[in-house]
Structure 1
Amino acid sequence: MLNKKLSQFLAICAIGSLSWVLVQNSWTESYLTGMKKESSVPAAAVQDRLHEEIQQAAEKYSEKPVDAVVDRVWKKTPGYNGIEIDVDKSYKKMKAKGKFKENMLVFKEIAPSVHLQDLPPSPIYRANPNKSSVSFIINVAWGNEYIDSMLDTLKKHHIKATFSLEGRWVKNNPEMARAIAKEGHELGNHSYTHPDMQRLSMQAAVKEIVDTNKVIEEVTGTKPALFGPPSGSFNDTTVKAAASVGMETILWTVDTVDWRKPTPEALINRVVPKLHNGALVLMHPTDSTAKSLETLITSIEKTYVIVPVGEALLEDRIRR
């Protein structure tokens, strides 16, 4: 009986010793550690693949910013923001699902090094050619009978234009000037008496611009930042006069020539084929423009976003 109990005791000790050896054995420790590592590999691998896919997308979608320049042909041209993917924010946004989704990418815009305000005085004919925008410049010194109709059409399509107002016209038509401003349209300066600006001295040019700004601000509460010389007549003195009071001189790239009273069809056929990124379209309150404006808007919006000139000159990218 004693021998039997002794044998059982020795067997228990042996099993215990063996168990202790197995647990403490370096091979066993390595095996268990390996199992732990192996169990964590799939999750880490998924995260690594996700990060890699986002990095690949970042290379695909990256566009460098474009500096503002004084172009030999197009003169002063605003810059345009670049764009790149914010990898860290995109990763954080997607990692909960552990799956790459293109519509969850987080983008950020990168500003250029040279801005419009860094450039010397020069006229502006268009926005940046990378910007898929088109802007309407409506010069107003007459044509009151067509303005309400044009405002209605613009409002119907949620379009904001740049109305370049003659100072003398604003003085004589304050209610109409206020109506334009109330609709949220951008107000520009079209001189006070509609002179041939290139024939004026610096002093006279500044007076035309300042007097117009004054009356527009008194009537509408808005101080214009853009100057549109009448008939597009200007010289270096004109541009410097505008710059001296903090204004940009704005011209155009597409002319409706609506003062010649073309048919609406002729006006549309003249304008639409000439449109391009950053186009500034010149028009006036005329019967031709009032009747063709709706078709013009719907045609343009198939390809471009219609924004006021001031917005077109910003470096912000167009988001459709």
Structure 2
Amino acid sequence: MRKIMLISVLIIGAWLSVNNPYSNTYVANLKTDAVPVSGQEHSLIREIEEKAKEYEVEPSNARKDPVWKAIPGYNGLKVDIEDSYKKMKKDGEFNPDKLVYKQISPDVHLSDLPPMAIYKGHPEKPMVSFIINVAWGNEYLSGMLATLKKYNVSASFFLEGRWVKNNPGMAKMIAEAGHEIGNHSFTHPNMKQLSAPEINEEIKKTNDVIEAVTGVQTKWFAPPSGSYKEEVVQIAAAHKLGTVMWSVDTIDWQKPSPEKLISRVMGKVHNGALILMHPTESTAASLEQLIIQIKDKDMQIGTVSDMLSENRVLAKKMKE
């Protein structure tokens, strides 16, 4: 009788081993390192598998918003069972702080949407971007670049083509500092009032001069004064440029006091904010405090490309 029971136990154990795909695969992996797997280790693996769903996040598709036009997608998070186990096996118990994640891409991307203006990033992404439109204000640029460097912040500078032609050294300085370069038209016209050939010329000439001076091929177009029509967006897209607007305006051209400018921005800043500014005395004097206060809100500051990418802003414990 005992012999029959022993045989039964062995058969059941073998069946469970064969029919647990994850544990069987993981055990096979461990065997390559000649590491024995105990029942406690199997139990921990199963616990990680069972609890993983509580911590995972579904990806968010890019979409068209009736107010904000194109909204980029945002990666989801999936628990990496094997790497999470490796971090927990020493203690032998489940610890959510030691979970390791991998990013999961959404099904619909910004590139899948028809060309539309973009006013802000994904509302769950704790990041903002400085959009710095440059057609004048040379006397403030060096100070602003120094402040950005001090705090290790990358911004997106949208350069007027005529300005680049007249100030090649400053354009190179911005590019060499590692900032993103965008297209801000050639002569700063009201793009809404231009014909299709004129729109095309404004965008193309600016792309050409920026590439000739800095070696950069632009990805984004910012219409002067935010004035555009759908034809502008379509022609920009034909040049492989996304059209970028803003969701927070410093209104720095009105020469507000630094206190007023900072209050205006911080009162409206949000996840995914695209913050419009220019090289002005007000912005140059406010920039340091803006950076400090935005970071104090646990928001990162990145380029427009950083902002509009699907990559998540991750905590240290999460895995790219």
TM-score (norm: length of structure 1): 0.86
For 1:317, the equivalent position in structure 2 comes to 312
SS in 2 for 1:278: coil
**Matches of 1:289 and 1:217 in 2, distance apart?**
27
SS in 2 for 1:215: helix
Q: Indicate which of 87, 100, 108 corresponds to 1:114.
A: 108
Aligned to 1:263: 257
Per the alignment, in what secondary structure is the counterpart of residue 137 of structure 1? strand
Q: Tell me what 2:158 maps to.
A: 164
Per-residue deviation, 1:234: 0.2
Q: Deviations over 1:236-256 (max 9, x none)?
A: 011011001110000000000
Selected match of 1:231 from 217, 225, 232 = 225
Equivalent-residue separation in structure 2 for 1:157 and 1:189 (angstroms): 25
Q: How does 1:135-174 map to 2 (within 5 A)?
A: 135-174=129-168
Q: Secondary structure at the match of 1:120?
A: coil
User: Are 2:211 and 1:217 equivalent residues in the alignment?
Assistant: yes
Which whole-Å CA distance do the structure 1 matches of 2:5 and 2:38 have between them?
A: 20
Kindly indicate whether the alpha-carbon contact (under 8 Å) linking 1:254 and 1:271 is maintained by their aligned counterparts in 2.
yes
By how many angstroms is 1:97 displaced? 4.8
Contact 1:201-1:237 at 8 Å conserved across structures: no
Partner Cα separation in structure 1 for residue 276 and residue 213 of structure 2: 24
Provide the rounded CA distance (Å) in 2 between the counterparts of 1:244 and 1:269: 39
Aligned length: 290
Shift of 1:54: 1.1
- Alignment of 1:305 with 2:300, yes or no, is yes
2:37 is the counterpart of 1:46: no
Contact 1:86–1:108 under 8 Å retained in 2:
yes
Structure 2 distance, partners of 1:283, 1:31, is: 78
Pick closer, same or farther for the CA change 1:29–1:118 going to 2, 3 Å. Answer: closer
Counterpart mapping for 1:73-112 below 5 A: 73-95=67-89, 97-112=91-106
Query: How far apart are the structure 2 equivalents of 1:270 and 1:276?
Result: 12
**Cα offsets for 1:155-207 (capped at 9, x unmatched):** 00000000000000000000000000010000010000000000111211111
Residues 270-317 of structure 1, C-alpha deviation per residue, up to 9 Å, x if partnerless? 000101110000000000000010000000011210000111110000
Q: How does 1:189-200 map to 2 (within 5 A)?
A: 189-200=183-194
Structure 1 range deviating more: 184-193 or 90-99: 90-99
Q: Following superposition of structure 1 onto structure 2, how do residues 243-258 of structure 1 map, counting pairs within 5 Å? A: 243-258=237-252
CA deviation vs aligned residue, 1:83-108 (integer Å, no higher than 9, x gap): 11022332355345533233432211
Query: Residue 301 of structure 1 aligns to a residue in which SS?
Result: helix
Q: Residue 271 of structure 1: SS of its match in structure 2?
A: helix
Aligned partners of 1:299, 1:274: CA distance in 2, in Å?
13
Query: Structure 2 CA distance, aligned partners of 1:57 and 1:149?
Result: 51
Percent of aligned pairs with the same amino acid? 51
Separation of aligned partners in 1, 2:115 and 2:220: 13
Q: Pick from 99, 119, 125 the counterpart of residue 125 of structure 1.
A: 119
Paired letter, 1:154? L
Shift of 1:48: 3.8
- Structure 2 portions without partners, runs of 5+: 13-36, 316-320
Match of 1:219, SS state, is helix
Instruction: Work out the CA distance in 2 between the residues paired with 1:222 and 1:32.
Output: 72
TM-score scaled by length of structure 2: 0.86
**Secondary structure of 1:274 counterpart:** coil
Query: Whose helix fraction is larger, Structure 1's or Structure 2's?
Result: 1
Residue aligned with 1:319, SS: coil
Measured in 2, the distance between the counterparts of 1:171 and 1:154 equals 24
Q: Secondary structure of 1:213's match?
A: helix
Counterpart CA distance in 1 for 2:128 and 2:108 is: 23
Q: CA deviation at 1:58?
A: 1.1
C-alpha distance in 2 between matches for 1:49 and 1:91: 11
